[in-house]
Amino acid sequence: MSDSPANKRALSTSAQKVQDTLTERGFGTMQVMELPASTRTSAEAAAAIGCSVAQIAKSLVFRGVQSGEPVLVIASGVNRVNEARIAAVLGEPIAKADADFVRAQTGFVIGGVPPVGHSRPLRTFIDQDLRQYEEIWAAAGTPHAVFRLTPAELERLTGGEVISLT
């Protein structure tokens, strides 16, 4: 995908919001791509992109059980999140958020939640396993949009806390 304004205009509203956030934060060289194939799940994204499932940085939103606050966990596509581990670091139990909560807190639908560009700031945890890959791929606002970055860029972009999720 070229960097021409015509291509940028071709992005859907949600994908363009992610591209604009990347640019505003000084990561304008990262390019959001909308693909014909679904990228809703880690396996679908890996197949559409042509990378390993482990290189997919999946964004999962949880809700603090006591505070009701949203928590974003960015995990390697092959890893299951150890909710007890997140709860221990967070200081309260967490529960998986439903679709309405995710949309209200992030501005995006499940299957397209990016690591940035949310409606409000989110406490963010990043899976340390992502650090083993030269490049990773994250959702970019829709179940068909992604962008490529490095684990170090993900950390700088989100300000997330890197922890062991497994």
pLDDT at 7: 43
pLDDT at 32: 97
E strand or H helix that includes residue 156: helix 151-158
- Triad 16, 17, 22: Cα angle to 5°: 95
Do β-strands 70-76 and 123-127 pair in parallel, antiparallel, or remain unpaired? parallel
Q: Residue 51: count other Cβ atoms within 10 Å of its Cβ.
A: 18
pLDDT at 9: 53
pLDDT at 48: 95
Please give the Cα distance from 100 to 98 (Å, whole number): 6
pLDDT at 26: 94
Burial 104-141 (b: 16+ CB within 10 A, else e): ebbbbbbbbbbbbbbeeebbbbbbebbeebeebbbbbb
pLDDT at 2: 43
Is the separation of the CB atoms in 40 and 143 below 8 Å? yes
Sequential pLDDT tens for the chain (166 residues): 444 444 445 899 999 999 999 999 999 899 999 999 999 999 999 999 999 999 999 999 999 999 999 999 999 999 999 999 999 999 999 999 999 999 999 999 999 999 999 999 999 999 999 999 999 999 999 999 999 999 999 999 999 999 998 7
Give the CA distances from residue 90 to residues 5, 57, 101, 161, in Å, rounded to whole numbers and listed in that order. 42, 21, 19, 11
Q: What is the DSSP letter of 23?
A: H
The per-residue DSSP string of 56-113 comes to EEEEEEEEETTT--EEEEEEETTPPP-HHHHHHHHTS-EEEPPHHHHHHHHSS-TT--
CATH superfamily of 5-163: YbaK/aminoacyl-tRNA synthetase-associated domain (3.90.960.10)
